[in-house]
């Protein structure tokens, strides 16, 4: 059993609000209502009604704590605090609104622009993953160093990533497409799978990767970008990465090499500028 990690009250109360809102919504509202598109999120992609229903009470909690917020839907809220919560209120919304119970709340806490801890909660099942930077969580990855024979989760293949997706799948022993980057990353931390990746699609934002990075590194794993771009805590949700979550740096490097040898079309329009500090931005 993984070691018990005490969680900062701001993460604990935010997660509790998300779980309550999610469970009430799926129990009382038809799926068609939850799946309605109600606008664009902070990253410029469509927002489901369920995203807003869950995010709203979480934002109320974070306002009471007086912290800055970087969230998938509302974007950047600067309260001038040294503390920032980087979160995705519902990761795997497409699963949730279809009735597939595989989605999560995830948040990382940063102090003065540096990650300190994170919490991910499976919204249906209640399972939790928590960790602090630089502290072993008691969880351990598999330690696998080679893709040959590995169990790998990936984002679903798209036309632009089909070649890289197929190349990774051909080397792996087992491939799963589960539809929640946060939960799939936590499975790497658990040693349930060896790796998870976006095979070159530049799909991930920092809200998809920050909590995962803290939790996986505390379990001995690594979170990286296919192209070696550093993960930066900047309040610009247009910035994207092709995230790799792996049991070891060797395995991450091997997956990245395979994906780079099967490139997607040019994604140079994705912002890649210099890192921007969270505080005061």
Question: What pLDDT is stored for residue 46 in this prediction?
Answer: 80
Q: Please check the confidence at residue 251 and state whether its pLDDT lies above 70.
A: yes
Residues in contact with 180: Cβ distance below 8 Å, sequence separation at least 6, in sequence order: 91, 92, 95, 102, 103, 104
Smallest Cα–Cα separation from 121: which of 197, 33, 14?
14
pLDDT of residue 132: 96
Going by pLDDT thresholds of 50, 70 and 90, the confidence category of residue 41 is confident
Residue 40's pLDDT band (cuts 50, 70, 90): confident
Model pTM?
Answer: 0.91
Residue 4 has pLDDT above 60, yes or no: no
Evaluate if residue 277 carries a pLDDT over 60: no
15 pLDDT more than 90: yes
Residue 265: the pLDDT is 62
In order of their start, the domains of the chain are 9-132 (3.30.540.10), 151-260 (3.40.190.80)
Confidence at residue 5, expressed as pLDDT on a 0 to 100 scale? 62
Query: Residue by residue, what is the 3-state secondary structure of the chain?
Result: CCCCCCCCHHHHHHHHHHHHHHHHHHHHCCHHHHCCEEEECCCCCEEEHHHHHHHHHHHHHHHHHCCEEEECCCEEECCCCCEEEEEEEEECHHHHHHCCCCCEEEEEEEECCEEEEEEEEECCCCCEEEEECCCCCCCCCCCCCCCCCCEEEECCCCCCCHHHHHHHHHHCCEEECCCCHHHHHHHHHHCCCCEEECCCCCCECHHHHHHHHHHHHCCCCEEEECCCCCCCCCCCCCCCECEEEECCHHHHHHHHHHHHCCCCCCCCCCCCCCCCCCCCC
- Looking at residue 266, its pLDDT comes to 62
> What share of the chain has pLDDT > 90, as a percent?
86
Whole-number percent of the chain with pLDDT over 70? 91
Position 75 pLDDT exceeds 60: yes
What average pLDDT does the chain have? 92
pLDDT digits (tens, 9 = 90+) for 175-232: 999 999 999 999 999 999 999 999 999 999 999 999 999 999 999 999 999 999 999 9
Contacts with 94 (C-beta within 8 Å, 6 or more apart), sequence order: 48, 179
Tell me the pLDDT tens digit for each residue of 90-147: 999 999 999 999 999 999 999 999 999 999 999 999 999 999 999 999 999 999 999 9
**Averaged over 242-268, what is the pLDDT?**
90
């Amino acid at each position: 059993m993984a070691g018990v990690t005490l969680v900062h009250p701001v993460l604990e109360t935010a997660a509790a609000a998300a779980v309550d809102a999610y469970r009430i919504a799926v129990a009382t509202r038809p799926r068609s209502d939850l799946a309605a598109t109600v606008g664009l999120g902070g990253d410029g992609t469509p927002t489901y009604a369920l995203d807003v229903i869950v995010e709203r009470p979480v934002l109320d909690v974070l306002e009471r704590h007086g912290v800055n917020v970087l969230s998938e839907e509302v974007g950047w809220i600067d309260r001038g605090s040294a503390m920032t919560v980087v979160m995705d209120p519902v990761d795997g919304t497409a699963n949730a609104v279809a009735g597939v119970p595989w989605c999560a709340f995830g948040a990382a806490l940063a102090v003065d622009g540096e990650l300190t801890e994170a919490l991910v909660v499976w919204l249906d099942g209640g399972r939790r993953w928590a960790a602090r930077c630089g502290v072993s969580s008691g969880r351990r990855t598999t330690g696998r160093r080679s893709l040959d024979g590995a169990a790998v989760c990936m984002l679903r293949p798209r036309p632009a990533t089909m070649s890289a997706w197929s190349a990774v799948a051909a080397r792996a022993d087992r491939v799963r497409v589960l539809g929640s980057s946060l939960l799939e990353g936590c499975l790497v931390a658990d040693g349930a799978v060896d790796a998870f990746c976006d095979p070159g699609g530049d799909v991930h934002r920092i809200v998809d990767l920050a909590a995962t990075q803290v939790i996986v590194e505390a379990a001995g794993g690594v979170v990286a970008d296919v192209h070696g771009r550093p993960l930066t805590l900047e309040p610009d949700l247009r910035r994207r990465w092709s995230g790799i979550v792996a049991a070891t740096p060797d395995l991450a490097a091997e997956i990245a090499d395979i994906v780079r040898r099967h490139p997607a079309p040019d994604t140079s329009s994705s912002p890649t500028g210099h890192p921007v500090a969270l505080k005061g931005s």
